[in-house]
Structures are given as C-alpha cells and as structure tokens.
Structure 1
Amino acid sequence: MHMLTYLQQFNPVFQALVGGCFTWGVTALGAAAVFCTLKVNKKLMDFMLGFAAGVMIAASFWSLLAPAIEMSKELPIPSWVPAAVGFFLGGLVLRLIDMVLPHLHGGLSAGQAEGIKTSWQRTTLLVLAITLHNIPEGLAVGVAFGAASAGLPSATLIAAVALTIGIGLQNFPEGLAVSMALRREGISRFRAFWYGQLSGLVEPIAAVAGVLAVVTIKSILPYSLAFAAGAMIFVVIEDVVPESQRHGNIDLATGGAMIGFIVMMILDVALG
C-alpha cells in the first residue's frame, strides 16, 4: 500500500513508464537464466508458456475488456460496441504487423519466417518475434494506468498495478524462452541474454505510447482498453499456445494456462 501511495504522487505517464520498465526487467531476469543452466526441461518450459498464456487471457478480460464495457455504459451507444470494435482492431493491427515485420517463431526453420522476405539472420528474426509479442503487453500497461488517471470506478491504480504484476510474471518464461532459443543457435550466453532482454525494451516504450494516447484523447479510453485486449489475445492464440504445445506436452501446457488464468484473476479481483 505504501508503494501505491508513492505512485499516486506521479502523473500517469511516469507511472506507465515505471510499469513498463518493471515488465522489461522481469523479461531481462528470465533471459538471465541462460547463465545458470545448460538446458531447460521442455516440460517445465511448456508449463511456463502455458502459464503465460493463462495470465494474458485473464488480463485481457478482467483488466481490459471488463472495464471497457463498464465505461461504455455511460456512452450513448450499446455498451458492447467499443469493446467489440477495439478488440477487433487490436487483433487486426497485430495481424498486419505480423504480415509485414520479418520474424521467426521458435522451433521453425529460417525458410518458415513470416513477414516480408529478408536476408536477416535467424537470431534477429527470433528476437523480432518476441519483440512483436511484447508490444500489446506494453500497451496494456500504459492504457491501464491511463484509465486509472481518469478517475473512473471501474479502473483503479491498484488494478493497473495488478495488471503490471501479472504481465511481469508471464514475461519471465518469455525472456527465458528467447534466450535459450538463441543459445541453441550457437551464440554466446552473454549475447543470448543481451538479445533476450532487448526484446522486452519495447514494453516501456509501448506503455508510454498507450498512456499518452488515452490521456490526450480520453474519449478513446474504452476502445484503447479493448484494443490492448485484442492484441494480447491475438498473440496468445497465434503463438504462445501453439509454442507451449509444440513438444507434445498438451495437458501440462493446458494445466499451466489454467493456473495462470487463476493467478491473474485473483490478482485483479483481490487487488483491484
């Protein structure tokens, strides 16, 4: 509670920056695990990725869509419209970026890279894939702090902090996954860590962009919340879930997703 009192003294842009730096830091912490182990158990990794998926799904509803719908009740349109429009646009924008930005999902060959054709190295494509996925997470943090600053009962500072903690929790396995994938490509531990943490640098940038958007134009707030939710769900379905089940540990990954959902739900409901 002391932390919340301290945070309340600052403007939402600074709050979002702190939140984005926290999630980036947890990504770096996960990437640093490359120094501590030669090989990560695939079952553990699949469980952790499933956990990350569950956290993102729960955060998309409890921290983003639900407040968006609640805020929309005060608008002269059906309350589901901003949530539906924003959610669709979030997924659409991520899909368009997905089609253009060259990137490569873990476990695939260089010939299976997505986006425009490029001669970039496989390691660069792997880092870009994780970087792409971190954009909606940073946006979600920024929009949450922007919503809290609007003084609406459905969006509070403690709820924004809960969302930030939840995203931070699921960033650990993401940072670990990318650094270990890079290590398997034969690069040094330090370079694997460096590129792994670098993939999370986009989060504080996206967080500041998200909070500036909603603070500047408050009327787009419910749309922005839903947009971040749509972008996160796109990432979960398009990559995190398939990656968690790629080694055949389907039940384990599913159990991780269930636990991740419960943890994020408790964080949001109990704290928010």
Structure 2
Amino acid sequence: MQALQEWFMSQSGVVQALLATTFTWLLTAAGAALVFLFKTASRKWLDGMLGFTGGVMIAASYWSLLAPAIELSEAHGGVPWLAPAIGFGAGALFLFALDRFVPHLHINFKKEESEGIETNWHKTTLLVLAITLHNIPEGLAVGVAFGAAAIGIDGFEIGAAVALAIGIGLQNFPEGFAVSMPLKRQGVSNFKSFWYGQLSAIVEPIAGVVGALTVIYAQPFLPYALAFAAGAMIYVVIEEVVPESQRDKYTDVSTLGFIGGFLVMMILDVALG
C-alpha cells in the first residue's frame, strides 16, 4: 500500500486526476453491477440513494470548491467574492445550457417529461444522457482539485483532492445502481442495464483531465474553475437530484439520505483536507 501511495504521489497532476476519476467511474460500474445480484429494488431505497448523492454534492461544492475559491481570491488581493461569483454563475449557466439543448430524461420521470430538444431517442438513451450531464461537473471538480494540489497552490493539499474523489466515488456507487435498476425494470437485460449504468460515468475521467489541465496551464483561472465546478454541481442537485428523490411518498427517506451524504463528505474533507 505504501508503495502504491508513493507511486501515485510521483505522478503528474493530470495523471492523478485521470486515476482519481477512473476510480469514481469504476465505483459507478460496481454499483451498476448490482443488477446481477438483485431482481428489484424498493423505491424507498432508490430515493434514499438519490438523497445521499445530493448531500455529497452540496457538501463538496462548498468545502472542496467554493470556500477554497473564496480564500484563494482573497489571498490574491482582489475582491474576495468577485471571481468565485463569476465562476459559480458560469458553471450554473453551463449546465443550464446543456440541460436546455441535450435531450435527456431524469430518473423516475415519464418519457413525455423528457427535456432538451425534441427527439425520438429511446427512453434508455435519454436516461443515460441525464446521468452523463450529472457526472460532468463531478469529473471537473475532481480534476480541478488535483490540478491545484499538483502546482502547489497554498491551501490545496493532496489530501483534500483525495477526500473529494472518495466522496464523489461513494455517491457514484449507489448512483450506478439507481441508473441500472430502473432500466432493468423497463425490461432491459441485466448486461445492458449494467452497461448503460456504468457508461453514464465514463465522462468523468474526460472532464477530470480537462479540469486538471485548465488549472495547471492557466493558474490565474483557478478561483473561477473551482467555483465553476461548484455552480455546475449545485445546479444539478437542485434541477435534477432533489426533484427525482421527491416524486414519491419516501421524501423523508431521501431527506435523511441527503443529510447522511452531506455529513460523510464534510467529515472526509475536514479529516483528510
């Protein structure tokens, strides 16, 4: 284990970001693989997992991204809130644009409730695209964190980046299951349900590398990049995760799941960061 840790630390920030986001992707695949073990899953369990996902994302947005962006902006001597505010707004608008134009369908929604431009694509494709949009800001967040740690920015330690990757990975595990199981309920085969479930997170390594490269080669944009990822994640939680988890009678379960996810991410960031 010590040798593995030393090897990881010896890698560049881009490679670390790639490895970390590959880890989060693999946890999504592990969650999606549960369709081979379970014939069905209760709506209560799925709503609780969605709530957990939202809690992790909200906590990560503040502790791992927005608060460091404000601190860094203040350290540079400028208006402390300006760069974070611009980045946060830009991240939310970026996801808003994707949400408006990319055809997709949120979990637990009916086919006629699909969003984006009109299309005749299959419901399965629309579901996968929805989770893919969800995973873009997660990959960006992890990549930006590792990029910042790699170039030695004060206040950005490798432990904080690892904590963020672990938190995102933990919420990706139930998320993979939450994607694959509804597909199975629609009559999709076990293998295809698993395949589409893990495929939704393959965008994370790509986004992670983009985030790390942006930070490493454009350091002045770091506060903007951190806040951008935070704004994108907050948009996803409010527009997608929360509504999906509140459409049935298990709203209390999803709320408790949200609290649990928030606590887990907060503890990880404080303990490791």
Report TM bin, short chain.
over 0.9
CA drift of 1:152 comes to 2.2
- Matched to 1:9, the amino acid is S
Displacement of 1:6 in angstroms is: 2.9
The Cα offsets for residues 31-53 of structure 1, whole Å up to 9 and x where unpaired, read as 00111111112212211111111
Which residue is equivalent to 2:232?
A: 231
The match for 1:170 is: 171
- Match for 2:129: what amino acid? L
1:100 Cα deviation (Å)? 0.6
For the residues of structure 1 that align with 2:213 and 2:55, how far apart are their CA atoms? 28
The answer on whether the counterparts of 2:66 and 2:84 sit within 8 Å (CA) in structure 1 is yes
> Partner amino acid for 2:75?
E
**1:176-204 Cα distance to aligned partner (Å, 9 max, x none):** 11101111221101001011111110000
Quick one: which amino acid aligns to residue 57 of structure 1? I
Amino acid at match of 2:89: F
Q: Distance in 2 between matches of 1:136 and 1:99?
A: 16
Aligned to 1:220: 221
Extract unaligned runs of 5+ from structure 1. none
The residue type paired with residue 30 of structure 2 is L
Q: What is the aligned partner in structure 2 of residue 258 from structure 1?
A: 259
Match of 2:47 in 1: 46
- Structure 2: which amino acid aligns with 1:149? A
* 1:121 aligned partner: 122
Number of residue pairs matched? 272
Q: What residue in structure 1 maps to residue 184 of structure 2? A: 183
* SS of residue paired to 2:75: coil
Please give the residue correspondences for 1:188-199 in structure 2 after superposition, counting only pairs within 5 Å.
188-199=189-200
Over aligned residues, Cα RMSD in angstroms?
1.2
Contact 1:106 1:243 in 2 (8 A): yes
Relative to the length of structure 2, the TM-score reads 0.97
Task: State the SS of the aligned residue for 1:254.
Answer: helix
Shift of 1:153: 2.8
Are 1:134 and 2:135 counterparts? yes
Q: Distance in 2 between matches of 1:161 and 1:76?
A: 28
Residue 76 (structure 1) shift: 3.7
The equivalent of 1:91 in structure 2 is: 92
The amino acid of 2:151's aligned partner reads A
The 5 Å alignment of 1:25-40 reads 25-40=26-41
C-alpha contact 1:182 1:192 (8 A) present in aligned 2: yes
1:172–1:121 distance in 2 versus 1, CA, 3 Å:
same
Displacement after TM superposition at 1:78 (Å): 0.9
Q: 2:213, 2:154 → 1: CA distance?
A: 20
Q: CA deviation at 1:149?
A: 1.4
Q: 1:4, 1:157 within 8 Å by CA — same for their partners in 2?
A: no
Residues 1:73 and 2:74 aligned together: yes
**Structure 2 gap ranges (5+):** none
Question: 108-117 or 216-225: which moved more?
Answer: 108-117
**Contact 2:147–2:215 (Cα < 8 Å) also in 1:** yes
Q: CA deviation at 1:66?
A: 1.1
Which whole-Å CA distance do the structure 1 matches of 2:234 and 2:26 have between them?
A: 23
Residue 53 of structure 1 contacts residue 240 of structure 1 at CA under 8 Å; is this kept in 2?
Answer: yes
CA distance in 2, matches of 1:60, 1:14: 23
Q: Determine helix, strand or coil for the equivalent of 1:26.
A: helix
**Higher mean C-alpha deviation, range 8-17 or range 104-113:** 104-113
- Contact 1:4–1:158 (Cα < 8 Å) also in 2: no
**1:4 Cα deviation from its structure 2 partner:** 4.3
The amino acid across from 2:101 in the alignment is V
